[in-house]
Amino acid sequence: MSGERTPPRFRVDRLWPDPATDLDLDDAFADFAPPPAPAGRLPVATNMVTTIDGRAQRMGTAEGLSGRADRRLMRLYRVAYDAVGSGIGTLRATDFWSTLPADLAERRAAAGRPPQPVALVIAGSGPVPTDRRWFGWGQPRLLVVGAASPLASGDRPIPGGTQLIVAPTDHPDPRWVLDQLAGRGIGSLLLEGGPTTNAAFLAAGCLDELYWTIGARVLATEALPMLTPIRGGSPFADAPREATLVSVHRSEDELFLRYRFEPASVHG
């Protein structure tokens, strides 16, 4: 557990609901909680940042798409969730980690929860960069790989402290992944992308909320949006998945939106 000794403070305006100006960001999200669990699985949200023109990558990573307030907010979202997960494409692209700074870890511990969320990476059949720092942080780690993964046989070493879970399919089915988490006592999952993983969970009817930061910039590149096209054709092309706007906050020129999806009628 490590982090800022003095947590950074940011000011936000709440635009919806109950408009209020000049709030402390931490205070504004102090009561933030995951959505209610749908029938039969744990609740899942994804947190993404895009530019105004909807790009979720800049020069191959998400770096530089938003400001420091958004980075603090990313950690405030994590506080509320039991597990924080990403697709392997994100770990291949960048050496991220999903630990909380000391002040937020202490807040969880004071509430009787593990100080750090469980870290999850979901891979398919491609390479897994086991030299990433993600494998070295002091938090429980789950690595889910597909049946055809180079790691699936268990012959290759993976860094200590990482629990390897091999799926029965080449691409782990999101519902199967959620069952695996539930079986380990995990009650909620916050995804942090990437766009392919988001699309897989949406297609499987396993995405309940979206936390979307709009960074006040434009790229006009061919970078990925927050969701890739669903493989095999989108079931939502003719019947778009409806969402409800839960809240909107503003930090300087950036917007923090929270959307809740209506219960899914598509089940992977």
Ligand X SMILES: NC(=O)c1ccc[n+]([C@@H]2O[C@H](COP(=O)([O-])OP(=O)(O)OC[C@H]3O[C@@H](n4cnc5c(N)ncnc54)[C@H](OP(=O)(O)O)[C@@H]3O)[C@@H](O)[C@H]2O)c1
Residues that bind ligand X (CB under 6 A): 48-50, 56-57, 60-62, 65, 86-90, 93-94, 122-126, 171-172, 192-197, 200, 224, 228
| Count helices and strands in the chain by DSSP H and E runs | 6, 11
Burial of 185 (0-12, 13-18, 19+ CB in 10 A): exposed
Q: Which CB sits closer to ligand X, 55 or 114?
A: 55
Pick the closest to residue 193 from 222, 224, 158 (CA basis). Answer: 224
Q: Which is nearer to ligand X, 94 or 115 (CB)?
A: 94
Output the smallest distance, CB 235 to ligand X, in A. 15
Q: Which residue, 23 or 147, is less far from ligand X as judged by CB?
A: 147
Tell me whether residue 114 or residue 150 sits nearer to ligand X (CB atom): 150
Do 247 and 213 contact (CB within 8 A), yes or no?
A: no
Retrieve residue 178's tokens: 């959620």
Nearest distance, CB of residue 126 and ligand X, angstroms: 3
| Residue nearer to ligand X on the CB measure, 105 or 203 | 203
Q: How far is the CB of 98 from ligand X (least distance, A)?
A: 11
Closest contact distance (angstroms) between CB of 190 and ligand X is: 12
Indicate if the alpha-carbon torsion angle 38, 209, 129, 79 is positive or negative.
Answer: negative
Token duo for residue 170: 């080449």
Q: Which CB atom, from 26 or from 192, has the smaller least distance to ligand X?
A: 192
In terms of Cβ atoms closer than 10 Å to its own Cβ (0-12, 13-18, 19+), residue 154 is exposed
Can you tell me which residue has the tokens 């079986």? 183
Q: How far is the CB of 182 from ligand X (least distance, A)?
A: 17
SS3 content of the chain, % helix, strand, coil (to 5): 20, 25, 55
Tokens 């942090």, residue located: 192
Q: How far is the CB of 245 from ligand X (least distance, A)?
A: 19
